[in-house]
Structure 1
């Protein structure tokens, strides 16, 4: 007689628990960022806080899902990419003449990511997950418009709030962001609706390039 032993998954590895832990971490890092912005003498640092506040808010109100990647590497990439922006240090504008360009990039970048988040609504997430396929709004042009918005905001930060450490933070963050993007697509492409969407919208982030 053969006895099959089923190994029960630890409670802390359940998608719902990991989802909640991710939310707590993002909120804690947002509080740290808000405290740095509050004491910063740079008047443009509020533009960074607006961008990261949107991340925190939509992380809290998102729809729970069981279709969540349980791969440790995917989680580490997602948290690295998300937390990078929350660790930025509000520095000073290195070239005052470029301040109008920085403000423009920040406003446009925040606008694009806000449009993408409002399109996703409660389908927004950090770790790779399928919370519903969205193909309207800015998703008609690129498959990851929110990340495109982040890129513009991050360029604005380097112009308006330069700090040497931010170069390191964003280099690591965008290395993780690209790998995270690819991990998301591996998961989402298992859904026939997203696989079809990938055929219609060719570019991931930058039309004509990537």
Structure 2
């Protein structure tokens, strides 16, 4: 009996297969979100699609990797953090006075997360994986600028489209997002280059806080 063969992971746990599962799931969730945005009466509803469409694009064009987590917990966190914002429901703006602030946060957050994605290029992913270490551009300020941008976007969207459901979804999303970020750092810290990067850039996502 081939000992190597007995140790091979199940086919569905192989990195290439996990990549495809992740891509299909994001496409389906994005289509579901588009259906809810189209025809919505809130004129700011299309803003919801900006950040989520960039996620879709970069997930589809990213570089494959073998250095990807196959831990079920890591995948559940990644799926939860990605899916919860895609399940939000656009609604009316509850406080008109907060609309300018909400729009400004969405615009700034999207510019920041897109800037981070442009530096990642094909190194983008959903589940914890090492697709190359980046340390320039927005990565000079925080170790996870893309997540920082998402946080600003989600606060802005919440101000524009507050509802109890959206509050629950964003709380769940950011609980999972923080745990996902920590799982990602556990995997990346196996790389000496990332350990050096951690010494250089102290803060993960919010300077002075986290």
TM-score, structure 2 normalization: 0.97
Q: How far apart in 1 are the matches of 2:8 and 2:190? A: 26
Partner of 1:135: 135
- Give, in whole Å, the separation in 1 of the partners of 2:20 and 2:117: 19
Match of 2:197 in 1: 197
Counterpart of 1:150? 150
Runs of 4+ in 1 over 6 A off after TM superposition: none
How far off its partner does 1:162 sit?
1.4
Structure 2 equivalent of residue 101 of structure 1: 101
Deviation at residue 92 of structure 1 after TM alignment: 1.3
1:64-83 mapped onto 2 (5 Å cutoff): 64-83=64-83
Match of 1:111 in 2: 111
- For the aligned residue pairs, the C-alpha RMSD in angstroms reads 1.4
Give the distance between the partners of 1:149 and 1:8, measured in 2 at CA. Answer: 38
CA distance in 2, matches of 1:9, 1:200: 36
Gaps of 5+ in 2: none
Separation in structure 2 between the aligned mates of residue 209 and residue 11 of structure 1, nearest angstrom = 41
Q: Deviations over 1:120-157 (max 9, x none)?
A: 00000000000000011100000001111001111111
CA distance in 2, matches of 1:140, 1:8: 39
1:19 corresponds to: 19
> What secondary structure, in the 3-state scheme, does the structure 1 residue paired with 2:162 have?
coil
